[in-house]
Amino acid sequence: MSGHSTYEPKTGFERWLDMRLPIIRMAQDTAINFPTPKNLNYWWTFGGILAVMLGFQIVTGIVLAMHYVPHVDHAFASVERIMRDVNYGWLIRYMHANGASMFLLAVYIHMFRNLYYGSYKAPREVLWILGCVIYLLMMATAFMGYVLPWGQMSFHGAVVITNLIGALPVIGDSITTWLWGGFAVDNPTLNRFFSLHFLLPFMIAGVVGLHIWALHVPGNNNPTGVNVKSKEDTVPFHPYYTVKDGFAIALFLILYASFVFYNPNVLGHADNYIPANPLVTPAHIVPEWYFLPFYAILRAVPNKLGGVLAMFGAIGVLFVLPWLDTSKVRSMRYRPTAKLYFFIFVVACLVLGYCGGKLPDDPVIPGLTSFTLIDADLNSFVWLSRVAALYYFAYFLVILPVLGLIETPLPVPESISAPVLSHPASTPAGAVASPEKRG
Amino acid sequence: MLRKGITLAALGLALIGGAAQASTHAKEPMEVDWSFDGPFGKFDKEQLQRGYKVYREVCSACHSMNLVYFRNLGQPGGPFYDPKYPNPNDNPYVKALAKDIQVKDIDSETGDEIQRPATSADHFPAPFPNEAAARASNGGALPPDLSVIAKAREGGPSYIHSLLAGYVNPPAGLTMSPTQHYNPYFPGDLTSAWSGKGHAPPGGFLAMPPPLTDNKVTFDDGTKSTVDQQAKDVAAFLMWAAEPKMEERKRFGFGAMIYLLIFTGLLYASYRRIWRNVAH
């Protein structure tokens, strides 16, 4: 798709097929001959890892759906029946449950890599936005999947999250009732969540197709952020990146397997092995780890509607990121100031995740009471989340727009091959950036 | 690459750490060296047999285990597994254990409700016909089903052991009703019931009185029947009941890991070979 097709049909059948459905040509151009920058590092392997994880989730999910019963009276027991009586049911279910965590872990690394190397910038804005759509679909799928075992956390998590919609003025309550299929989270809710949980992964697969298409038009970004200039800068995707991605995927599978076989429940919550009981609310309702940063943002705002808007805003801001970042230099390798702010951003996200798992009013430093500010003690997780959430938004809305205009980036190499031949560390540190690279 | 690996691992750990729970006001469970800990851990069959006896003679008076079937007792990894009987339904020991227990059924001729001896295909019968009856017999509290209890509590089997063996007399200054029992390992918040000096003690109130006493259960293998031993054995049994495929999982996992390590090594070698002439 990018550049000219180099496929030459070799046999009569291939020539015949190529005139009618050039599917071999497409495979050759996108997965075999596709010119790929030769300097991609291991952070670039997560795309392949994600594709593999999506495959695992769909295959294990379809097998689980053969045995699962989407009914409030049978869901919990049917999941346990899978664990106990279905041949290798424990393997399939633990792969699916831990696979969700691994999938989200990989997508977060993929997104941070994107932010660091500026892969969202022109001409890859559509590629980035499609990625954000995939991420949104993944979150919806993961949330609904967690409801299906119908344990205590499933049920009460579903109540908390669906109630958020009720915060919308005027239409909120009607929409919530419509989503529930009744006046509370009940059997109709479980049924539609199962149906949608089955549907969404195929929508994800569809958008992944678009994502890969949009990737293959401009081609890969790379750690230098410099465009591919010549054939010297690239290698064919196969075998160079099939083997490198393959190695990274195998390493990732070892991590995945260590959870599945040796710690299958460590990423979940013990309360979800208690069958759902609408009359008993768990002491602490916490979402799965991958939602904790957003949960912290939700709780950081004292007003419910404000919290909901902030939470969705935290995802929404990603969609306009390509137009918020004013810097023309893609890779933060050559933006020392931006690099510093980026690492603070990563820390802010981790802090938000940590706060999301804690009780908002608990002290961050135990035993120390400071003073009450607005509605909570300053030494509390709610205030720590506020600071981190403020930085989260400031990073996108203030730091990236302003920094691109005022910073002086380091000199950017002429081509991808240049820093390989002469490492950037050997160029004089005080070298003046070329004026056209500024702002 | 190593540096990147460490960065990745740290990121993963930080994310997992984020899921850690807010501290409850209960004592941390006592450390127990379980035979099933670690990647090669296995259930101690004799311990499971003792634990089953504790469940059968003590716990089952109030607690159901609706997801556990008598046949499970004779499955690989189970307390009464015998390699001579690959089909646990043929295991004479399991059949005999089931036969001792009466379960409810419907007479297929008359439609009347009857009692009959259990078979290996029956699940453990529940002690109460319904939730209301269970609550009525237990001062309003519902004894939870124990099928997956070892996975449904933070701390798992160690928590169960500590709870069962950890009952102590309530410290002076704790106001409680006669149907409540103090346990330092039970999650709760005793601040409102505390009139003594300083911080409220750790733990909470539960409706279950201390269920175990020394020599309450006679172990057939001659093991000394202390409260601590009974608690450990029943906790191990409950862990097996919650995760009956654990041994199969770890055995399978070992093979899968070996396979993945060899596969990864081959891929790395191929990677080095294919990339050897590319400056990057």
Task: List pLDDT tens digits, range B28-55.
Answer: 999 999 999 999 999 999 999 999 999 9
| Interface residue B40 vs chain A (CB under 8 A) | no
Q: In the prediction, which pLDDT does A11 show? A: 93
Chain A contact for B259 (CB, 8 A cutoff) = no
> What H or E segment, with its residue span, contains residue B103?
strand B102-106
Which of B160, B271, B273, B275 to probe the A interface (max A CBs under 10 A)? B271
Within a 10 A sphere around the Cβ of B1, how many other Cβ atoms? 7
pLDDT band at B25 (very low <50, low <70, confident <90, very high): confident
CA distance B203 to B169: 12
Q: Assess whether the previous peptide bond of A239 is cis (omega < 30° from 0).
A: yes
Spacing of C-alpha B194 from chain mean position? 32
Residue A374: how many other CB atoms lie within 10 Å: 9
For A341-406, the DSSP string reads HHHHHHHHHHHHHHHHTS-TTS-SSTT----EETTEESSSHHHHHHHHHHHHHHIIIIIHHHHHHH
- Please name the helix (run of DSSP H) or strand (run of DSSP E) that holds residue A37, with its range, or none: strand A35-37
Q: Best mutation site among A39, A43, A52, A84 for testing chain B: the one with the most B CBs within 10 Å?
A: A84
Neighbour tally for A201: CB within 10 Å = 18
Three-state DSSP state, B181: strand
Within an 8 Å CB–CB cutoff, is residue A253 touching chain B?
Answer: yes
Judge whether A260 is closer than 8 Å to chain B, CB to CB: yes
Nearest CA in chain B to A101: B16
For the ranges B54-63, B173-182, B256-265, which has the lowest average pLDDT? B173-182
Q: Which of A234, A247, A243 is nearest to A38 (CA)?
A: A234
Higher pLDDT, B171 or A392: A392
| Nearest residue in chain A measured CA to CA from B24 | A283
SS3 A222: coil
Tell which residue, A286, A282, A272, has the closest CA to residue A358: A286
User: What single-letter DSSP state applies at residue B117?
Assistant: E
Of A244-258, B138-152, B173-187, the poorest mean pLDDT is in: B173-187
Tokens at A54, concatenated: 């999506």
Joined tokens for residue B62 = 């109030």
Least trusted range by pLDDT, from A352-361, A424-433, B22-31, B140-149: A424-433
Shortest Cα distance, chain B CAs vs residue A340, angstroms:
16
Contact B174, B193 (CB under 8 A): yes
Q: How far is B246 from chain A (nearest CA, A)?
A: 9
Q: Which tokens hold the place of B180?
A: 């409540």
d(CA A239, CA A424): 28
**pTM (predicted TM-score):** 0.91
Mutate to test the interface with A, among B148, B238, B259, B266 (most CBs of A within 10 A): B148
Chain B interface includes A90 (CB < 8 A) = yes
- Does B10 contact A at CB distance below 8 Å? no
The CA–CA distances, whole Å, from B86 to A179, A197, B74, B83, B95 equal 49, 38, 9, 6, 14
pLDDT reported for residue A376: 84
Query: Which residues, numbered 81 to 120 in chain B, qualify as contacts with chain A under a Cβ-Cβ cut-off of 8 Å?
Result: none
At residue B256, the 3 state secondary structure works out as helix
Average pLDDT over residues B129-135: 95
Chain A residue closest in CA terms to B154: A270
Amino acid letter, residue B23: S
- A300-303 own/partner pairs: CB under 8 Å, 24+ apart: A300/A355, A300/A382, A300/A385, A300/A386, A300/A389, A302/A374, A302/A375
Cα–Cα distance, A121 to A134 (Å, whole number): 18
pLDDT band at A419 (very low <50, low <70, confident <90, very high): low
**Which tokens belong to B101?**
């227990």
Place of tokens 């429940």: A265
Measured CA distances, B233 to A347, B80, B161 (Å): 45, 15, 8
DSSP type of residue A86: S
* Peptide linkage before A275 cis (omega within 30 of 0): no
d(CA B164, CA B71): 27
Measured distance CA(A97)–CA(A260) in Å, rounded: 9
Q: Which pLDDT score, from 0 to 100, does residue A3 have?
A: 57
Nearest chain A residue to B274 by CA: give it: A240
Q: Which of A247, A265, A269 sits opposite B271 (nearest CB)?
A: A247
Q: Which helix (H) or strand (E) holds A237?
A: helix A237-262
Q: Enumerate long-range contacts of A344-349, CB under 8 Å, 24 or more apart.
A: A344/A391, A344/A395, A345/A115, A345/A391, A345/A392, A345/A395, A346/A112, A348/A388, A348/A391, A348/A392, A348/A395, A349/A293, A349/A388, A349/A392
pLDDT at B13: 44
d(CA A271, CA A285): 9
Structure tokens at B80: 């009464």
pLDDT at B23: 39
The residue type of B94 is V
> Which of A80, A255, A362 is opposite residue B148, by nearest beta carbon?
A80
Write the pLDDT tens digit of every residue in A251-260.
Answer: 999 999 999 9
Tell me if B18 and A239 make a contact (CB, 8 A cut-off). no
A420 touches chain B (CB under 8 A): yes
Structural contact between residues A412 and A225, judged by C-beta atoms closer than 8 angstroms:
yes
Tell me which chain A residues have a C-beta less than 8 angstroms from the C-beta of B249.
90-91, 94, 261, 264
**Cβ neighbours of residue A197 closer than 8 Å, sequence gap 6 or more:** A61, A141, A144, A145, A148
A326: Cα within 13 Å, side-chain hemisphere: 15
pLDDT at A422: 55
Question: Residue A315 is encoded by which pair of tokens?
Answer: 């995802």
- Judged by a CB distance cut-off of 8 A, whether residue B173 touches chain A is no
Q: Is pLDDT above 80 for A350?
A: yes
d(CA B241, CA B237): 6
DSSP A402-432: HHHHH--PPPPPSSSHHHHHS-GGGS-TTPP
Mean pLDDT of B71-87: 95
ipTM of the complex: 0.89
| Mean of per-residue pLDDT scores for chain B | 90
Task: Count the alpha carbons within 13 Å of A286 in the hemisphere toward its beta carbon.
Answer: 26
Q: Point out the residue among A273, A284, A289 whose CB comes nearest to the CB of B151.
A: A273
What DSSP element (H or E) covers B182? Answer: strand B181-183
Question: Are A357 and B18 inside 8 Å of each other by CB?
Answer: yes
Q: Which of A38, A257, A293 sits opposite B280 (nearest CB)?
A: A38
**Residue B121 predicted with pLDDT over 90:** yes
Residues 144-203 of A with CB under 8 A from B: none
- The verdict on A84 touching B (C-beta cutoff 8 Å) is yes
Q: Are A237 and A34 in contact (CB under 8 A)?
A: yes
B190-246 pLDDT, tens digit each = 888 888 888 888 999 999 999 999 999 999 999 999 999 999 999 999 999 999 999
User: Does residue A426 carry a pLDDT above 50?
Assistant: no
* Interface contacts A/B by beta carbons within 8 Å: 135
Contacts of A293 in chain B (CB under 8 A): 18
B104 DSSP assignment:
E
Q: What share of chain A is helix, strand, coil (3-state, %, to 5)?
A: 65, 5, 30
Pure H helices in A39-124: 46-67, 75-84, 89-117
Give the chain B residue nearest A248 (alpha carbons): B264
* Cα of A270 to nearest chain B Cα, Å: 4
Confidence of residue A365 (pLDDT cuts 50, 70, 90): confident
B30 contact A CB<8A: no
Interchain CB distance below 8 Å, A354 and B17: yes
CB contact under 8 A, B151 and A235: no
Cβ of B250 and A105 within 8 Å?
no
Minimal C-alpha gap between A16 and chain B (Å): 33
> CA of A342: how far to CAs of A27, A69, A335, B10, in Å?
37, 45, 10, 17
> Which of B66, B67, B274 is nearest residue A243 as measured by Cβ atoms?
B274
d(CA A17, CA A143): 44
Count the Cβ atoms, other than its own, within 10 Å of residue A138: 21
pLDDT for the residue B278 = 86
Q: Is A77 on the interface with B (CB under 8 A)?
A: yes
